A and B are shown apart, each in its own frame.
Chain A
Amino acid sequence: MTTTAQIQPTFEAWRSKARELLKHGVAPENVDWVDASQTASLLAEVPAKYQIAPNASVKVPAEFLRLAANVCAHTDQRRFAILYRLLHRLALGGEKHLLAMPSDRDMHQCTMWAKAVSRDIHKMHAFVRFRLVGVNEQNGREQFVAWFEPEYRITRLASPFFEKRFASMEWSILTPDECASWDGNKLTFMPGMSRHDAPAADAHDDLWRTYYRSIFNPARLKVQAMQSEMPMKYWKNLPEAEIIHDLIASSDQRVRAMIATPERPVKPAPNNAYLNSLRNKPEKLTSPAPASPVSSP
């Protein structure tokens, strides 16, 4: 008999539902996982009629829970079902070694999802850009707001990092799905917001772009290498991305100018006490190579 598991798309909701199903020994092929936030209440949940009495406690390795937390943050419709199948095989199917089997189909799929999510978290840590909006008059703390569009539902997973790093500021990170806010003491989560709720620019963006422009070396253009690490989907919220096209377009000209520059002659050393002391040092290593440069073992 098939049962419908209608849950909010969070790790916590999946975990408590999965625990309940597992205790009753419900087989993975008999569960229909439904994302409650997607379907509203079109489908009323069919209360499960369990045939087996609840089992004792369910134990899985902590590593599985870490994997599951990431997988749940993914957006693929199949994630809850495959994750439950993995759990079922792990806990009741006698396949305790599954987590060491990256070649298993379910493990492979879940690992891929978890990896995509953890990459998205990493990119969120990297590409969130805070904008100064004011100062708290009571305690003098600076207040910052950022707008970010992650690919998956990762606000909760990504926020502790910002808490540790920016504990002495007050900050909010707004995303379309869920927003995080730190008031100096407590991290709270709110429903998603829109881009227009966040400030569009910061007075320091110009200085940052100046730095970005100056640290770029036009003689080593590698646009693909840049894009594989900083995909264009993130560009719209990065203040420095506006000047990328100009930097690429002008690099050729700049390199030609370097090559065309006449070579500078060597200027004589100034009379400086420190430089003189360097020159008078006798103990220069004269052997040109390390001990045994070409001896193979």
Chain B
Amino acid sequence: MELTRKLEILADAAKYDASCASSGAARKDSRDGKGIGSTGGMGICHSYTPDGRCVSLLKVLLTNACLYDCHYCINRRSSNVQRARFTPEEVVQLTLDFYKRNYIEGLFLSSGIVRSADFTMEQVIEVARQLREVHHFRGYIHLKTIPEASQALIDKAGRYADRISINIELPSQKSLDRLAPEKNLTNTMQAMHGIRQRIDENVDAKKAARQIVNRPRAKAPAFATGQSTQMIVGADDSTDALVLHRADELYRDCRLRRVYYSGFSPIPEPSVLLPIKPPPLVREHRLYQADWLLRFYGFDVGELLPKEDPNLDLDLDPKLAWALRNRAVFPVDINRASQELLWRIPGLGTVNVARILAARRWASLTLADLQRMRVNLKKVMPFIIAADHRPHIAQLENANLRQQFLPGPRQLELNFNAPPPTTPADATMVLSGQL
């Protein structure tokens, strides 16, 4: 099979992995003239595809042949998709060629599981080894890891990669048993704990290396600086509360850098076990917003998702939804309130909160000041007190406040002479019998 065809198949097979981050790697470059590449600081998106996703890494599978039968996945053994396999050398060459032309930040390599977890892992590691040791590649490498692989192999992968990840896929074993029968939540969590331990050890080793006064400095062994995972949303009946509690647990216990949420979308090889109707894409978006609130705004899952309502409001962002449920907290005085309270104001992000904290030391802030900081005034005004603004309490207590923030109703048109063209959504409706 020629290389172009392999690339077609094996990139197509990899596109359901949402992660494409290239940030957070240790600082390295190639100014010694030996190899090629650099990492550190912000990640770079070298292109964007019309699905709005960033193209940062060459994201491919080593092979899309797979023993597992995960029903949301196009590469499962029950699928009739055409199979292909790269040799390690082909991936290495492709990565270097793309990198030198500044198409990419590096490589994201994953693989279908062939023969056994360890065998597959060894193949994946071999690509990273060649890149790092033979070609002195200093670009970004993200390796997908198989939880059932031996600890020694996972350690080895971590030494070559900037980031390693294991996909948890679904938030409970019950869902896994139905849709991904070979996957085991305990194994996955154990492997993530193992990786966390290595990352922590490495951070400590780096600190120790910095503290040594005598030169030459001891060099800490390289290890990936972070791990991430992905959960598929909408393929099973898990609630947002279940998804976010699982994510929160991973952030706390395994110190994950990122949990990616991937809204299940139709695949070319549909399974009998899966819903035809995909979840609305906005659910994925709301989960990301809630995820941010957990990590950077001091919220916890119980606040965002009260017991009686375990799913996020699709019409409003989760912070606004929280504020509307907790109106007694507002209005908040932007010239006096603590950082934690400012973070809770709908429409204020962490960056603007930091600006407000810096600026209010010198002047009492007005709405015009906020406008110059590009704050969305319409959104924050009901919730804040500024030097020249105090909302009417009646407005805050008004039962219609929620209405103000909803997207305006769309005028539907009835035109029998020229009906609008049907969309893929209509096609799913017909097939699933759902209106």
A interface residues with partner B (beta carbon < 8 Å): 97, 100-103, 105, 108, 122, 125-132, 142, 144, 146, 161, 163-169, 184, 202, 204, 206-208, 210-226, 229-230, 238, 240, 244, 247-248, 251-252, 255-261, 263-267, 269-270, 272-275, 278, 281, 283-297
> Are B102 and A167 touching (Cβ within 8 A)?
no
| A-binding segment of B389-397, B408-416, B421-429 | B421-429
> Are A122 and B172 touching (Cβ within 8 A)?
no
In the bound complex, what is the Cα–Cα distance between A125 and B48 (angstroms)?
14
Q: Chain B residues near A217 (CB, 8 Å)? A: 15-16, 49, 51, 53, 265
In this complex, the interface size class of chain B, counting residues with CB under 8 Å from chain A, is: 35 or more
Closest A residue to B98 by CB, please name it.
Answer: A208
> Are A211 and B423 touching (Cβ within 8 A)?
no
| 3 pairs of A and B residues whose beta carbons are closest in the complex | A225-B52, A296-B302, A222-B52
Q: Chain B residues near A292 (CB, 8 Å)? A: 245
Complex A-B: 29 CB contacts under 8 Å: A97-B362, A101-B358, A101-B362, A127-B47, A164-B38, A165-B36, A167-B32, A168-B35, A215-B11, A217-B15, A217-B49, A219-B424, A220-B51, A220-B263, A222-B50, A222-B281, A226-B52, A229-B48, A258-B267, A259-B276, A263-B270, A267-B77, A274-B117, A285-B185, A285-B186, A290-B171, A292-B245, A296-B307, A297-B302
| Interchain CB contact (< 8 A) of A252 among B8, B363, B424 | B424
B58 within 8 A of A: yes
In the bound complex, what is the Cα–Cα distance between A284 and B359 (angstroms)?
54
B37 within 8 A of A: yes
B interface residues with partner A (beta carbon < 8 Å): 3-4, 7-9, 11-12, 14-16, 29-38, 42, 44-55, 58-59, 67, 69, 71, 77-80, 94, 97-98, 100-103, 115-117, 148, 171-175, 182, 184-186, 189, 241-242, 245-246, 249, 263, 265-273, 276, 278, 281, 300, 302-303, 306-307, 310, 355, 358-359, 361-363, 365, 368-370, 372-373, 423-424, 427-428, 431
Q: A100-B359, A102-B359, A258-B267 are in contact. Are A210 and B4 (CB under 8 A)?
A: yes
> Are A165 and B29 touching (Cβ within 8 A)?
yes
Closest B residue to A166 by CB, please name it.
Answer: B36
Q: Chain A residues near B278 (CB, 8 Å)? A: 219
Q: A102-B355, A266-B78 are in contact. Are A131 and B101 (CB under 8 A)?
A: yes
Closest B residue to A141 by CB, please name it.
Answer: B33
In the bound complex, what is the Cα–Cα distance between A294 and B243 (angstroms)?
11
In the bound complex, what is the Cα–Cα distance between A142 and B283 (angstroms)?
47
> Are A219 and B54 touching (Cβ within 8 A)?
no
Tell me if B's interface is mostly helix, strand, loop or mixed: loop
Q: Chain A residues near B272 (CB, 8 Å)? A: 263-266
> Are A166 and B100 touching (Cβ within 8 A)?
yes
> Are A264 and B102 touching (Cβ within 8 A)?
no
Beyond the given A122-B44, A204-B97, A229-B45, please list 11 additional residue pairs across the A-B interface where CB-CB is below 8 A. A130-B102, A164-B38, A217-B16, A217-B265, A220-B263, A229-B54, A230-B48, A266-B271, A284-B186, A286-B173, A288-B173
Q: Chain B residues near A169 (CB, 8 Å)? A: 36, 100
> Are B7 and A216 touching (Cβ within 8 A)?
no
Closest A residue to B80 by CB, please name it.
Answer: A264
> Are A220 and B11 touching (Cβ within 8 A)?
no
> Are B58 and A289 touching (Cβ within 8 A)?
no
| Interchain CB contact (< 8 A) of A216 among B49, B246, B359 | B49
Q: A207-B7, A215-B55, A269-B69 are in contact. Are A251 and B50 (CB under 8 A)?
A: yes
